[in-house]
Amino acid sequence: MSNVLWQPIEVGPMELKNRVVSAPIATNTSTKDGLPTADTLDINEKLAESGVALSIVEHHAVHKDGRTRLRQLLLDRDEVIPYQQKLTELYHTNGCNVVVQINHAGSLVQDEEMMVEDWAPVAPSALRHPRCSLYVMPRPLKTEEISHLVELYAEAAARAVRAGYGGVEIHACHGYLIGQFLSPLTNQRKDRYGGDIKNRARFLFEVYEAVRGLLSDEHVVAVRLGVADSMPNEEPRGLTIEDSKWVAKELAAMEVDFIDISGNHCGYDGEGEGYFADYALAIKDVVGDTPVVCTGGITKLSTARTLLEKGSCDLVGLGRALRRNYKIVREWEAKSREDLHQR
Ligand SMILES: Cc1cc2nc3c(=O)[nH]c(=O)nc-3n(C[C@H](O)[C@H](O)[C@H](O)COP(=O)(O)O)c2cc1C
């Protein structure tokens, strides 16, 4: 089919059969120990059968204290591996590529029950999170604690590939811990992890290098980057597109397998079709051949096709549209075939 949406693409070691990716959507379906349940498996089976070329499975916390919600899935210990194997098996059976997102929430704690006595979440600085609805005053990380956190991401990534994932996506957006480091709104550190963007991005780069170092070249290591703290239609504040262009360029130089675009402290919920198109294009412009994924408000075949044809991105991500209709990719394929015959 001549429609660019159905053209294959190489993403690091992975051969993707088309340009449609399932974006990570947290399901809050884990057991209280962070294991997948029948509900988690059911959702992932539908995604595996949906016709997407790659599924980025919802964010998994690298440590129990790095959860944003109590029912978040965990990759914090080896015991999760056999349970996770059941999940990846669904993708293998359906010939669908799969990676998992790894995350630490830092100060973005969203379930009140998590705020038990004598515990405070960690963050770059002792500042309240701009998007957290609970009253949470985080404990600022000591410089020497940061390398331990870096190791937690790498260990979680190693577990992910042992469980059968084709790689990982590092969550560096939506104001979670890495996003907290990237943004001057939540990072006022005076050490080498705070100050200009070179310092604020240090934590992300260390995580990336540690993960890359533990995985082989046969595995994907990707980054989901929060490009700015404001949505495209808002007054810029905090983390800027210029900052993120520099970060993306560095990641490309470090041979990241793809960069997935979203917002940082502004979150992911915008208006209209393909609302992060300008952010994706800004990043695509500076990363050369590194594949870029654009997600956000894509519900129509025409939007997906236009984004790809304009060169704003190499892949499109579907979040809510795919969960509302698991047949959407098959329907788009059928429609593209019809369009071709009618020419
Ligand atoms: C309920 C819900 C959970 C989400 N969970 C995640 C997540 O685990 N990781 C992530 O990076 N983004 C997450 N997102 C953001 C989506 O991946 C996506 O960027 C966003 O929904 C916009 O795309 P869409 O309009 O296609 O849904 C979540 C969004 C929603 C609505």
Average pLDDT on 253-261 reads 98
Is ligand 1 within 6 A of the CB of residue 171?
yes
DSSP-derived pairing of the beta strands 9-11 and 14-16: antiparallel
Quote the pLDDT of residue 135: 85
Give the DSSP per-residue string, 105-156: -TT----GGG--TT---EESSS---TT-SS---PEEPPHHHHHHHHHHHHHH
Quote the pLDDT of residue 309: 97
Contact between 208 and 170 under an 8 Å Cβ cutoff? The reply is yes
Q: From residue 219, how far is each of 225, 249, 258 by CA, in Å?
A: 19, 21, 12
* CA-CA-CA-CA torsion sign (233, 236, 239, 244): positive
Alpha-carbon gap, residue 143 to 122, rounded angstroms:
12
- 262: containing domain: 4-342
Alpha-carbon gap, residue 95 to 98, rounded angstroms:
9
Is ligand 1 within 6 A of the CB of residue 319?
yes
Burial class (CB in 10 A: 0-12, 13-18, 19+), 89: middle
Alpha-carbon gap, residue 333 to 1, rounded angstroms:
9
Contact between 81 and 35 under an 8 Å Cβ cutoff? The reply is no
Is ligand 1 within 6 A of the CB of residue 325?
no
Q: What is the CATH number of the domain that holds 20?
A: 3.20.20.70
3-class state of residue 227 by DSSP: coil
Q: From residue 155, how far is each of 191, 210, 296, 297, 304 by CA, in Å?
A: 25, 9, 30, 33, 35
Q: From residue 206, how far is each of 43, 178, 211, 251 by CA, in Å?
A: 33, 11, 9, 11
Burial class (CB in 10 A: 0-12, 13-18, 19+), 153: buried
Q: What are the phi and psi torsion angles at 11 (to 5°)?
A: -125, 100
Is ligand 1 within 6 A of the CB of residue 179?
no
Residue with token string 């009140």: 112
Average pLDDT on 231-242 reads 96
- If one counts every other C-beta atom within 10 angstroms of the C-beta of residue 316, the result is 26
- Band (pLDDT 50/70/90 cuts) for residue 76 is very high
Alpha-carbon gap, residue 242 to 194, rounded angstroms:
17
| Number of domains composing the chain | 1
Q: What is the residue with the minimal CA distance to atom 30 of ligand 1?
A: 25
How large a percentage of the chain has pLDDT more than 90?
94
Task: Using the mean position of ligand 1's atoms as its centre, give its distance from the Cα of residue 193 in Å.
Answer: 28
Q: pLDDT of 125-179, one tens digit each?
A: 999 999 988 888 999 999 999 999 999 999 999 999 999 999 999 999 999 999 9
Is ligand 1 within 6 A of the CB of residue 58?
yes
Quote the pLDDT of residue 1: 58
Task: Using the mean position of ligand 1's atoms as its centre, give its distance from the Cα of residue 101 in Å.
Answer: 12
Q: What is the residue with the minimal CA distance to atom 13 of ligand 1?
A: 25
How large a percentage of the chain has pLDDT more than 70?
99
Residues 6+ apart with CB under 8 A from 9: 16, 19, 291, 314, 315
- Band (pLDDT 50/70/90 cuts) for residue 118 is confident
By most ligand atoms within 8 Å of CB, the mutation choice from 30, 268, 300 for ligand 1 is 268
Is ligand 1 within 6 A of the CB of residue 43?
no
Task: Using the mean position of ligand 1's atoms as its centre, give its distance from the Cα of residue 203 in Å.
Answer: 23
Query: For ligand 1, what atom is nearest to the CA of residue 169?
Result: 11
Contact between 187 and 200 under an 8 Å Cβ cutoff? The reply is yes
